Structure 1
Amino acid sequence: MRQHHVLLPVETRGTGFVEITRDVARVVRDSGIATGLLTLLIRHTSAGLTITENADPDVLADLTDRLAVLAPRDPSLYRHGMEGADDMPAHIRTLLTNVQLSIPVLDGRPALGTWQGVFVVEHRARGSRRQVVAHVLGD
């Protein structure tokens, strides 16, 4: 059994999705592990990770719109506001989009479906430099 880990920096430009599927596939390929498990963890409380469709950009736009409805940026709705009006809604959205993903590794690749992509989801209005820890375990 072998292990391999990498810290992936991800630049975001504000609220929305940044696809990291190619970066994740490269980490698995570089690990030399053919069969195992890939674990991803985003090291933030106001951004998330998700697997969703990567074929039609309307999917990402619709998801962004729905997250805004579920956790609006109205400061009168929240107690926590010391880091800005968009911080508490970002924490709620992070709960909805995950901070950790587990993806099987088969034949040296993440076992994603045809239309699946791995995304960092930025929940703050301003862009940021995010960090994703990628850990591959297997043979």
Structure 2
Amino acid sequence: MKVITDKITVSTKGFNDIIDITDQVQGIVKKHQVKNGNVTIFVSGSTAGVTTIEYEPGLLKDLPEAFERIAPMDKRYHHDSRWGDDNGYAHVRASILGASLTVPFSDGKLLVGTWQQIVLVDFDNRPRTRNIVVQIIGE
């Protein structure tokens, strides 16, 4: 059994920026020549999350609109009062979405659905450089 840790670095725009990282994750699995196992994708930071969606224009609008209903940007959050950075909504959204995702792979290929992509969602209120840890466990 191998455990390999790698990373992806992406620049984001913030404000619900959704970035498809499927090909980058697949490339890391291929690079390390592990045939079967699981890959965990983890974003470092408390204002971004990782999930899967069908990466298409409708959902690229639907997902941010859903988060706006759940944790609106224009609401005042206790976090904002404490730190003055006005991104309390981003912390709440990231907590709901989650910081990690595990995807199985077989014969070196991610076992995602035909219309399923791995995405990073950056909720912060400014552009960021995001470090995404990609850890492979397999053989």
- Fold conserved (TM > 0.5)? yes
SS in 2 for 1:80: helix
Please tell me the residue identity of whatever aligns with 1:132.
Answer: I
Structure 1 ranges of 4+ moved more than 3 A: none
| Corresponding residue pairs, total | 136
Q: Which residue of 1 aligns with 2:49?
A: 48
SS in 1 for 2:6: strand
Task: Please state how far the C-alpha of 1:70 moved relative to its aligned partner.
Answer: 0.8
Q: Distance in 1 between matches of 2:78 and 2:101?
A: 30
Q: Which residue of 2 aligns with 1:110?
A: 110
Q: Distance in 1 between matches of 2:99 and 2:78?
A: 23
Q: Which residue of 2 aligns with 1:79?
A: 78
Q: Which residue of 2 aligns with 1:6?
A: 6
Measured against aligned partners, the alpha-carbon deviations of 1:75-112 in whole angstroms (never above 9, x if no partner) come to 53x21111522x21111101221101111011101110
Q: Distance in 1 between matches of 2:28 and 2:84?
A: 33
TM-score, L = length of structure 2 = 0.92
Measured against aligned partners, the alpha-carbon deviations of 1:13-38 in whole angstroms (never above 9, x if no partner) come to 12220111110000110110110010
Q: 1:83 to 1:31 in 2, by over 3 A?
A: farther
Q: Distance in 2 between matches of 1:29 and 1:22?
A: 10
Q: Which residue of 2 aligns with 1:22?
A: 23
Question: What runs of 5+ residues in structure 2 fail to find an aligned partner?
Answer: none
Please tell me the residue identity of whatever aligns with 2:110.
Answer: P
Q: Distance in 1 between matches of 2:9 and 2:92?
A: 23
Contact 2:90 2:125 in 1 (8 A): no
C-alpha RMSD over aligned residues: 1.2
Q: Distance in 2 between matches of 1:3 and 1:80?
A: 37
